[in-house]
Structure 1
Amino acid sequence: MEPSDTGTSENATNRGHNRTRRIAGFTSKRTVRTLLVVEAASFLLAAAIHAGALVDGYRHGEAMVAETVIGSVLLVGLVTTRVRPRWTFSAAVIVQAFALLGTLVGIWTMIVGVGPRTVPDVVYHAAIVLVLVAGIGLAWRTREPDRPE
């Protein structure tokens, strides 16, 4: 466990203040990382479904590629939060904004009739938009100033 996961920032002892916030007993960094894991897993699961690996009848190559890219970007953001803990909130906002943009493109493709328009696709897109917006809001509200390490 890193110092920032215990509720104290890495430099709290040296600077005399605590910059990491707690949300329902969890540090905000841990909560943001958990959201990134859930979001990435959901996109990669959707990609597997669109690849035809888990459920028949939902194969769609373009959706599979898009969801794989979005899930991978979210994983890169997650890794960044571990490698550079001070970048946690900035990285989370950036990768979730990318995922939200990609999801909105997916919704647009459904509207114009290019992308898959099954009930599970519509429900997933609506739900993941809500999760991504909430994740961006959480990361933005609990952000710490990015300081050079």
Structure 2
Amino acid sequence: MTDHTKLALILLAETLLFAVASLAHAGVLISGFEHRHAMIAEGVFGAVLGLGLLMVLIWPARGPIIALAAQGFALLGTLVGAFTIAVGVGPQTRGDAAFHVVLLLVLLVGSLAAWASWRR
């Protein structure tokens, strides 16, 4: 599998994860996790990752730097979300905290993959 394909698949997975998170916080997928601010933030991060995916597909030579930028934005925002959970703002469920850990790990792995591809 080429680096380009890996980056595209990682961005696709990240986009879908953030879409699921946003829909969960909207109350569309499950109830009890509604949180308007989280829904909006995760929707924005998912949109940025989705736009990054489209740009990687259009400009494969610039794929690693595009992926790094999109993932960096989402990673920073997710860290802010995790911090708000840690200090008691926003949803305080174990599921939400666990999902943020998953998001952070996926974004970190994706960023490392993009960094490695960019370095080659």
Partner of 1:125: 100
Partner of 2:56: 81
Partner of 1:14: none
> C-alpha offsets along residues 54-112 of structure 1, whole Å, 9 cap, x if unaligned?
10111100000000000000001001011111110000011001110010000111112
- Paired amino acid for 2:11: L
Q: Which has the higher contact order (CA 8 A, sep 6+)?
A: 2
Stretches of 4+ moved more than 6 A in 1?
A: none
**TM, length-normalised to structure 1:** 0.78
User: More helix per residue: 1 or 2?
Assistant: 2
Structure 1 residues 113-122 or 92-101, which shifts more? 113-122
Partner of 1:72: 47
CA distance in 2, matches of 1:68, 1:94: 17
**How many aligned residue pairs are there?**
120
Superposition deviation, residue 142 in structure 1? 1.3
Please, which of 76, 79, 85 is the counterpart of residue 101 of structure 1?
Answer: 76
Bigger radius of gyration among the two: 1
Please, which of 107, 117, 120 is the counterpart of residue 142 of structure 1?
Answer: 117
Where do 5+ consecutive residues of structure 1 fail to align?
1-25
CA distance in 2, matches of 1:115, 1:28: 37
- Paired amino acid for 2:117: T
CA distance in 1, matches of 2:118, 2:77: 23
CA distance in 2, matches of 1:115, 1:98: 20
- Paired amino acid for 1:134: V
**1:11-90 alignment runs, 5 A limit:** 26-90=1-65
Alignment identity in percent? 40
